[in-house]
Amino acid sequence: MEAVFIDSKQRHGARHIPVELTEQGYKHDIKTINKSMGRQDLVAKATRKFKSTTDSRHNFPVAPNILEQDFTADKPNQKWAGDITRL
């Protein structure tokens, strides 16, 4: 059981570990796993929620699209592009 817990990067709790153990040929119920995890001080890490990092609601001007997604050039150093997402 502890190996399954560690293999899951300590993310699986008492609900998911019995499923993994059943696939490996062992049979345990949630209550037994929950008690055993409590005795061993095994606590599953909570999954982090997605955090949006871009706020598009602003009044700043948007730069014109001069290249219009045509990034091919006839000669070197004709077209340059960059990204200033983070300053």
- Please state the domain count of the chain: 1
For residue 74, being part of any structural domain is answered with no
Domain presence at residue 73: no
- Examine residue 6 and state whether it is found in any structural domain, yes or no: yes
Q: How far apart are CA 40 and CA 38, in angstroms?
A: 5
- Give the integer Cα–Cα distance in Å for 31 and 65: 60
Q: Residue 21: which domain range?
A: 2-39
Distance CA 33, CA 22 (A): 12
* Interval 14-55: pLDDT, tens: 877 888 888 888 888 888 888 888 888 888 888 778 888 778
The pTM of the full predicted model, rounded to 2 decimals, is 0.46
Kindly state the average pLDDT of the residues 60-69. Answer: 87
5 contact partners, CB below 8 Å, separation of at least 6 = 12, 17, 37, 42, 44
Q: Is residue 84 part of a domain?
A: no
Closest CA to 37 of 24, 50, 28: 28
